[in-house]
């Protein structure tokens, strides 16, 4: 059954789970940073390093937005998830992808924790999907696949923007589906991993990704990302991976 979890439900569920864990003397989920040994203790659960400086995407995305997004939102998902796994040894030793897919396979994965795992996974895609002086036109195999799927880059770009402007969308992806490249959208707590698509690039369209810089103009944010930041080299590298 396809998940239909909206952001309000996620926040409500996550807040409830956080309170429950704190009340039962669980791991400190409000820690600013993961424990020093968190990366080594759960080395299969990783938070991607920011591949550039905090201010490197400015002026398209400000240093303030990157700092808040990476150090508060993204790191918060990592801290929560590793804290939960610390209290549940049966889930240790798995990658993030394995945990997400195992949940779909019927294990009793706490719903809020599943949502944090999806958010960590999606954000791990977001930062390398951008780069300073990115954007422009793709080159190489990705260009050919886009043209084969959409007829032209402009038609593909239009599809990306249309997906970004749908109501309730949380993420816009560029995915590989066999020999096709597709613009794909997922709701707030969803990921193409669960649909069998291979992610190539991710654009976070939660409001925290753009509101400080663009207020409510999501279209301008996505247009700017496509024009100035999207990392086609990363997409090309992901195409080559099995």
Site for Fe ion in 49-78 (CB under 5 A): 73
204 near Fe ion, rule: CB under 5 A: yes
Query: Which CB sits closer to Fe ion, 190 or 204?
Result: 204
Tell which one of 206, 210, 221, 232 touches Fe ion (CB under 5 A): 206
Site for Fe ion in 73-112 (CB under 5 A): 73
**10 Å Cβ neighbour count for 168?**
10
What's the closest the beta carbon of residue 49 comes to Fe ion, in angstroms?
16
With beta carbons less than 8 A apart as the criterion, state whether 173 and 203 touch. Answer: yes
String of b and e for 22-43 (b: at least 16 CB within 10 Å)? eeeeebebeeeebbeebeeebe
Query: Which CB sits closer to Fe ion, 34 or 138?
Result: 34
What's the closest the beta carbon of residue 205 comes to Fe ion, in angstroms?
9
190 near Fe ion, rule: CB under 5 A: no
Length of the chain: 242
187 near Fe ion, rule: CB under 5 A: no
Q: Number of helices (H) and strands (E), helices first, in the chain?
A: 11, 3
What's the closest the beta carbon of residue 55 comes to Fe ion, in angstroms?
18
d(CA 53, CA 63): 9
Query: Which CB sits closer to Fe ion, 171 or 197?
Result: 171
d(CA 115, CA 98): 14
What's the closest the beta carbon of residue 127 comes to Fe ion, in angstroms?
10
Token pair, residue 146, equals 């886009």
Residues near Fe ion (CB under 5 A): 73, 204, 206
């Amino acid at each position: 059954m396809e998940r239909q979890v909206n952001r309000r439900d996620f926040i409500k569920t996550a807040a409830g789970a956080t309170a429950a864990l704190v009340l039962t003397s669980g791991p400190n989920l409000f820690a600013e940073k993961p424990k020093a040994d968190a990366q080594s203790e759960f080395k299969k659960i990783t938070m991607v390093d920011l591949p550039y400086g905090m201010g490197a995407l400015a002026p398209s995305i400000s240093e303030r937005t990157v700092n808040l997004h990476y150090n508060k939102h993204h790191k918060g998902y990592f801290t929560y998830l590793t804290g939960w796994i610390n209290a549940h040894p049966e889930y240790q030793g798995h990658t993030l992808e394995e945990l997400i897919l195992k949940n779909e396979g019927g294990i009793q994965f706490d719903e809020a924790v599943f949502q944090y795992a999806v958010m960590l996974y999606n954000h791990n895609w977001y930062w390398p999907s951008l780069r300073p002086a990115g954007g422009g036109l793709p080159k190489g195999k990705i260009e050919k696949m886009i043209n084969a799927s959409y007829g032209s880059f402009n038609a593909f770009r239009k599809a990306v923007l249309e997906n970004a402007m749908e109501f309730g969308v949380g993420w816009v992806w560029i995915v590989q589906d066999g020999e096709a490249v597709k613009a794909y959208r997922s709701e707030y707590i969803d990921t193409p991993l669960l649909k069998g698509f291979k992610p190539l690039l991710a654009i976070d369209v939660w409001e925290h990704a753009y509101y400080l810089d663009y207020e409510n103009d999501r279209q301008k944010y996505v247009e700017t990302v496509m024009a100035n930041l999207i990392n086609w080299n990363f997409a090309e590298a992901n195409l080559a991976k099995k």
